[in-house]
Amino acid sequence: MANYSTNEFKAGLKIMQDGEPCAIVENEMVKPGKGQAFNRVKIRKLISGKVVEKTFKSGDSVEGADVIDVDLAYLYNDGEFWHFMNNDTFEQIAADEKAVGDATKWLVEQDVCTLTLWNGNPIAVTPPNFVELEITETDPGLKGDTAGTGGKPATLITGAVVRVPLFVQIGEVIKVDTRTGEYVSRVQK
């Protein structure tokens, strides 16, 4: 993998740090008038998800990370692996529990997810921003309540728990924003 000099740093660049592939979130040059310049960089560790700050002497190089994002459709879970398929080439990739992480509660068959591959292996799965899931469990709501008065918890078919308005019932399908985990609307079946 190529090395990158600090002057090539920009948000989104993938580099190796502490033996882990990372994405640069923010890069800022710190340059004293007469002194050595530094790059103060925020990086997101792609496996642990941790965001950390690092500094580099400007002009230094760091190893790049062979990290790419691919869009793949979710197929099924076999108990150990989650299987995804490229809808164009039909090539399949299996991601383990560590890579899927919290995304597991938003996985809907046929939905296209973004898989982050490091050296060809999946290290992270990002579900679509919005998914539609059926409610399997929630308290019966009060009739006539249409405004959000705090709502109630509802368990979805994948096990995710979302706060929903009181009028939403078991068996209904709702749209959820996976980035915030918030209820968006009911979906007409």
Partner 1 sequence: MQRSLNWQPSATLETLKARAALLASTRAFFAVRNVLEVDTPLLAQCGVTDPHLENLQTEFLQTTYYLQTSPEYAMKRLLAAGSGCIYQLSKVFRADEQSPRHNPEFTMLEWYRVGYSMQELIAEVGALLQATVNAPPLQQMTYQQLFMARLGIDPLAPNALAQLQTELAQRPELRDWASAESDLDTLLEGAMALVIEPQLQPEVPLVVTHYPASQAALAQLDPSDQRVALRFEVFYGGLELANGYQELTDAELQAQRFATDNARRAQLGKAQRTGDARLLAALQQGMPACSGVALGFDRLAMLVCRKHYISEVLPFAIDRA
Which residues would be at the binding site for partner 1 (CB under 8 A)? 7, 28-38, 40, 52-60
Euclidean distance between the first and the last CA atom of the chain, given in angstroms as a whole number: 49
Q: How far is the CB of 3 from partner 1 (least distance, A)?
A: 15
Distance CA 134, CA 125 (A): 21
Shortest Å distance, C-beta 53 to partner 1: 4
Token pair belonging to 163:
């706060």
Q: Which is nearer to partner 1, 12 or 33 (by Cβ)?
A: 33
Shortest approach of partner 1 to residue 17 CB, angstroms? 8
Question: Shortest distance, CB of residue 129 to partner 1, whole angstroms?
Answer: 25
CB of 169 to partner 1, least distance (A): 47
Q: What is the DSSP-derived secondary structure letter of residue 100?
A: H
Q: Nearer Cβ to partner 1, position 60 or 102?
A: 60
**Residues facing 9 on adjacent strands:** none
Contact of 80 with 95, CB cutoff 8 Å = no
Residue 35 vs 120, nearer CB to partner 1: 35
What span, in angstroms and rounded, lies between the C-alpha atoms of 48 and 17?
A: 12
Shortest Å distance, C-beta 67 to partner 1: 20
Give the span between the Cα atoms of 40 and 37, in whole angstroms.
Answer: 10
Q: What is the dihedral of CA 103, 108, 113, 117, to 10 degrees?
A: 60
Closer of 60 and 182 to partner 1 (Cβ): 60
Which tokens belong to 73?
A: 């459709």
Of residues 45 and 83, the one with the C-beta less far from partner 1: 45
Nearer to partner 1, 23 or 107 (CB): 23
Closest CA to 45 of 13, 12, 23: 23
